[in-house]
Amino acid sequence: QERGGNNSFTHEALTLKYKLDNEFELLFVVGYQKILTLTYIDKFIDDIHMQFRDKYRNQLQQQGVMGLLNGSFDFSDDFRGLLRAAEERTKGKAPSVMKTFEQSDKSKKTVKSMIEVRGEKGKENKKNKKDAPVQDVPEKKMEGQLKAPATVAAGDANQNGLTQEEIIQRNREEFFRKRQGKDKKESSSKSPKPTKPKTRRVWPLDSNKTNAKDLDYSEKLVNGQSSTSANNGGDTSVDMNLCRGSMAGDLKAVDYESSEEQEEEEEEEEEEEVVQETSHTGVKKRGGFGGMFGMLKGLVGSKSLTPQDMQPVLEKMKDHLIAKNVAADITVQLCESVAKKLEGKVMGTFSTVTSTVKQALQDSLVQILQPKRRVDILRDIIEAQKQRRPFVITFCGVNGVGKSTNLAKITFWLMDNGFRVLIAACDTFRAGAVEQLRTHTRRLSTLHPPEEHNGQSMVQLFERGYGKDAAGIAMEAIAFARNQSFDVVLVDTAGRMQDNTPLMTALAKLIAINVPDLVLFVGEALVGNEAVDQLVKFNQALADHSMAEKPRLIDGIVLTKFDTIDDKVGAAISMTYITGQPIVFVGTGQTYNDLRSLNAKAVVSALMKA
């Protein structure tokens, strides 16, 4: 899953550690009980690696890995020998005693050696300084985590003299411009490609088929918002616009940019890079003039990649990803994992280090975003129906991220798919929370009135006012839904900060008692490093305060406000990387029908785009 920055992976009671040999495409894995603190593992796996390589080097070179594996070879004795030696080594080691200052290396250092000279180290400092803006929030307790910046968008705001709201507005406009396919490439100064002629856009007035109804945009989306403001009158608790559209079936994937445009852009980028040059026949394939120098600089031939080769490229990629709002420590881990994956790999004759690293990083990012577990809510609801019970989803997250709004959007989608939804108002904390849900429920039921559904209400609110125990209300709601044959219960919970222990304990209790089918974390796409902090702490709190032996953690993510970030889509990476869970829904505006699913490839393209 590309989350192996530290080359180890823990699953339940087991830990796996692995090492790659990219030259021969070998993977060495050791698995052991997590509770054993085996200090020799790293050295042991290194020893195994070396011995295996040395012993079978010739065979590997001549027959390749498959040749070796298909033939017969016996490594068991070597394995046992090395294991015994490793165990003996640790046994033989006396418990370490702290050195005195005189014994330490520091005491032997001359004053001169401690003075930093400009050069290598200076460079490192400079790099750190470059990263500094993302760490400018005072340190909190969490070890090893870089702390949140005011989001990148806010960083930009300072630079351009725009307020954060103006930036968000600008990004929203950009997002919808792209979604509506109005991103007119022709207007750019780059010359159009003769090989890929663009089909002429048919404007409504050109076409004979259009009629007056098609041209009436008054009911259609304008900049992502319906221009119809009916039913919005005087209601301040909900600033959603009504917009009914058929959402039946699986959700549409978030469409960042049309794939054609994306491909064109990728091609342009490659051309700039001079990736291919002379082939064996000496025929020039691509690259034009400036290519000669680029080629000499960039071509590594069939040399295998070293960390030194990759370091400058990875540094650039790190800065790039951070600028796209990926949490800083995740970019570090990602780049480390890419470096490990590529180290020793023999590059293709026509590739540059940059293109190789970029490709590997891109693959890793897609891998991260593609869920290892597929969440198919529609199918799961039908399964629950068969068991004559409602399917229960709990929503959690900090305040203001769009929990209630996106819960309403999900309700709309479920109703369009013919399911009856009970909304459980379990935010008994924030004034107005229940009223907000009531307004949504009322509006949603006008979109699917009982008259159209055999007199049955398709959506209903279950509420017990404020100040009561949320877990108890959720339980009552689920029982009510079962009796009244609702298909789905959506449990809204109070927004809480990840550091608020009493509220986090209450959430863990609600989840432990009611055992929902899905626990969705709602997070906004605007967050940078903060995303990691929120998710780590939510999961930690759920684990710590759960009464169950195997605690329920977050199983999926609702990524909101995706329309406000333009191409700074890094939060999607941070959130999936940290939880290992999929992004199930993406909210892209303030209408009921703007819910989307994630399109991993489109998000990664946006992320890699210069």
By CB under 6 A, name the binding residues for ligand GDP.
239, 399-406, 495, 560-561, 563-564, 587-590
Contact in structure between 424 and 474 (CB atoms under 8 Å): yes
CB of 241 to ligand GDP, least distance (A): 10
3-class state of residue 592 by DSSP: coil
- Count of CB atoms situated within 10 Å of the CB of 239: 10
Residue with smaller CB distance to ligand GDP, 192 or 400: 400
Nearest-5° angle of CA 527, CA 531, CA 533? 135
**Tokens standing for residue 384:** 């629950």
**Tokens standing for residue 531:** 């995303």
Residue with smaller CB distance to ligand GDP, 437 or 541: 437
Contact in structure between 33 and 13 (CB atoms under 8 Å): yes
CB of 415 to ligand GDP, least distance (A): 18
CB of 495 to ligand GDP, least distance (A): 5
CB of 406 to ligand GDP, least distance (A): 6
Residue with smaller CB distance to ligand GDP, 15 or 588: 588
- Count of CB atoms situated within 10 Å of the CB of 560: 27
Contact in structure between 5 and 336 (CB atoms under 8 Å): yes
Instruction: Match 């009916």 to its residue by tokens.
Output: 230
CA distance 568 to 302: 36
CB of 400 to ligand GDP, least distance (A): 5
CB of 567 to ligand GDP, least distance (A): 16
Residue with smaller CB distance to ligand GDP, 356 or 588: 588
Partners of 524 in the beta sheet?
Answer: 560
Contact in structure between 225 and 590 (CB atoms under 8 Å): yes
Q: HSE-up of 171 (CA within 13 Å, CB side)?
A: 26
Residue with smaller CB distance to ligand GDP, 204 or 400: 400
CB of 562 to ligand GDP, least distance (A): 6
CA distance 152 to 323: 7
Residue with smaller CB distance to ligand GDP, 401 or 414: 401
Residue with smaller CB distance to ligand GDP, 148 or 398: 398
Nearest Cα residue to 340 out of 28, 100, 551: 28
Sheet with 26-33: strands ordered across: 8-11, 14-21, 26-33
Residue with smaller CB distance to ligand GDP, 404 or 411: 404
19 sits in which H/E element: strand 14-21
CB of 523 to ligand GDP, least distance (A): 10
431-435 long-range contacts (CB < 8 A, ≥24 apart) are 431/466, 432/237, 433/404, 433/492, 433/494, 434/461, 434/463, 434/465, 434/466, 435/237
CB of 472 to ligand GDP, least distance (A): 21
Residue with smaller CB distance to ligand GDP, 173 or 380: 173
CB of 193 to ligand GDP, least distance (A): 35
Residue with smaller CB distance to ligand GDP, 151 or 560: 560
